Chain A
Amino acid sequence: MTATERLTRYFIWFIAAFTVVFLMTPLLVTIAVSFGSSTVFTLPPPDWSLRWYQKLANTRGLLPALMVSLQVAAISTAIAMVLGTLCAIALVRGRFPGREAISTFLISPLMLPGLVIGIAMLQGFKAMGLRDVYASLFVAHVVITLPYVVRTVVGALSLFDFSLIDAARTLGCNYPMALMRVLVPALAPAFLTSGMFAFLASMDNYPISIFFTDAWTKTLPIQMLQYVEETPDPTIAAISAGLVLLAILVLIIGDRLVGLRKLADF
């Protein structure tokens, strides 16, 4: 091995180590602060305590906001799963012109600025007479979650051998039964991972939700940002640590179902 090669190798490993530390910094800092006793985010914490977690229960607005976010994420993900799966079947199985264009259109909400989509929806919904906060949030969040479902299910379906369904029918299953016994189990991992990532995307969304909340109904990220701006104390770190835990759980489930390397596919 030449000197240049060795240097390159050291450089790459240095960058790799830096990347891991750099990317994990915000998560570790959040968790450390949430268990510290200091009010002013002193690091390392002078003493450990659970006071911010106790304060969490008494912080007005956080629990209702969490409930709103969970409901909006769950329902919009469910709707997106149905619409997205049907559409994915059409995109993979259909032979009609413009399939590429349709799939780009369905994934495009991921690529355009959320803020602009939010503003457009705000005015569009007003023009259509939709004023209810909850309904607007559900309708808007389906647009956020749909691309995740379409992208993942299209990927899984294009690897699925549809002749297996014919095989099942030859062996005595009727058509719906063949779908249930062959197609659904084959797609289960794709359903679960796309559902989980769609759910997280909806839970975390700020730039679209901000236009559809009022003084009484706020989603969690909006309530959190408002809290950070009004009374910055580690209570937010405590709830953030909870969200980190949720993400870790999702990642573990995702790893068990499809493997980490598959989750990194872009």
Chain B
Amino acid sequence: MTTRAAPSSAPSPWRDPVILLAVPAVIYLLVVYAYPLLWLLMKSFTGPSGLTIQPYISFMSDPFNWRVVGNTLRVAAWVTLFCFVIGYPAAFALARAGAVVQIVMLVSIILPLSIGAVVKAFAWQIVLRRDGVVSQLLVGLGIWDTPQRLLFTETGLVLGAANIFLPFMILPIYSVVKLIDPRLSEAGATLGATPLYSFTRVTLPLTLPGIVSGVAFVFSMSVSMFVIPSLLIGDRFQTLATLTGRSFLLMRNEQLGSTTAVILLTLAVAIVVGSTWLARRLGGST
């Protein structure tokens, strides 16, 4: 993270007075953030008679809940795939573009990042209507015969969510692509490598750390999105996050809500830990 000069003279690392400056923030987060999370975790394992995994067993014995888990992972996988297919070439375009194109691209990536999900999901409600932009475009191109409604369909949800998360795929990949010398593949070509060979042997491995962090970002955000599905697909389609929100806000079923919340939390932590480990391994091998 930081590169600094070697320590001059520190008798005990804990005696460094500068550590005190970190204390307020750390204590604050421990009290209002870490403690509540641990409490939630504990509570989900506590039944009327002590420690139990009963809530998880009853959660998993209900086929409806398996559909919810399936919905969550399937939508997240499609969103991530869509973002990757668009985001990977887009990151190259951004890194190699001339000054003007680069600014246009950067603005169109960063500006939506500073606008809330409610605003963008509301806009997609309009875009995905039967008379919306997407329907008009597909009919105009002759792909569809008649206008269709994409709002409240899974395709619509994937499209809207991919739109909102795309910057989180492009930016991490861009940050590694801009470090690659474009002359590398020229050098490969001079040495007789076909474009495909030099892509799979040189470019792709160099961009893998960016891909890992982009995929991790988009996948974990898609798994835990809440506002976007409630606006774009509605109550008939439940994901882990919407079910968690509903159990607390509407159904007042805190037991179910705590269970799904802990499953979500576990998924998110697994993605963060897994991607960090993978990125470190990849960073070490190249």
Q: Jot down 19 A-B pairs with beta carbons below 8 A, ordered by A.
A: A29-B126, A29-B127, A91-B1, A91-B22, A94-B21, A95-B13, A102-B26, A119-B257, A204-B116, A205-B116, A206-B118, A206-B227, A221-B118, A224-B119, A243-B116, A260-B103, A261-B106, A264-B106, A266-B174
Contacts of A95 in B (CB 8 A): 7, 10, 13, 16
Closest to B258 in A: A119
A247 vs B107: C-alpha distance in the bound complex, in angstroms?
11
Stretch at the interface among A20-28, A55-63, A164-172: A20-28
**Complex interface bits, B98-126 against A, C-beta within 8 A gives 1, otherwise 0:** 00010111111111101111111011111
A86 vs B21: C-alpha distance in the bound complex, in angstroms?
5
Write the nearest CB–CB distance from A9 to chain B, whole angstroms: 9
In the complex the two chains form, is A224's CB within 8 Å of B245's CB? no
Contacts of A25 in B (CB 8 A): 123, 127, 133, 163
Overall SS of chain B's interface? helix
Closest to B196 in A: A4
A5 vs B188: C-alpha distance in the bound complex, in angstroms?
13
Overall SS of chain A's interface? helix
Q: Select which of B19, B32, B136 is within 8 A of A139 by beta carbon.
A: B32
A30 vs B127: C-alpha distance in the bound complex, in angstroms?
9
In the complex the two chains form, is B25's CB within 8 Å of A146's CB? yes
- The bracket for how many chain A residues form the interface is 35 or more
Q: Select which of B32, B92, B175 is within 8 A of A143 by beta carbon.
A: B32
Q: Select which of B10, B123, B220 is within 8 A of A30 by beta carbon.
A: B123
Contacts of A142 in B (CB 8 A): 28, 32
Closest to A147 in B: B29
Residues from 1 to 30 in A contacting B, C-beta threshold 8 Å: 2, 4-5, 8, 11-13, 15-16, 18-20, 22-27, 29-30
Interface residue ranges, A against B (CB under 8 Å): 2, 4-5, 8, 11-13, 15-16, 18-20, 22-27, 29-30, 33, 41-43, 83-84, 86-87, 89-97, 99-100, 102-103, 105-106, 108-109, 111-117, 119-125, 127, 139-140, 142-143, 146, 150, 154, 158, 197, 200, 203-207, 210-211, 221, 224-225, 228, 232, 236-237, 240, 243-244, 247-248, 250-251, 260-261, 263-266
3 A-B pairs with the lowest CB-CB distances in the bound complex, closest first: A124-B36, A204-B116, A113-B224
In the complex the two chains form, is B36's CB within 8 Å of A243's CB? no
A25 vs B199: C-alpha distance in the bound complex, in angstroms?
32
Contacts of B14 in A (CB 8 A): 96-97
Write the nearest CB–CB distance from A60 to chain B, whole angstroms: 18
Closest to A211 in B: B248
In the complex the two chains form, is B110's CB within 8 Å of A251's CB? yes
Given contacts A27-B123, A207-B227, A244-B119, contact A19 B86 (CB under 8 A): yes
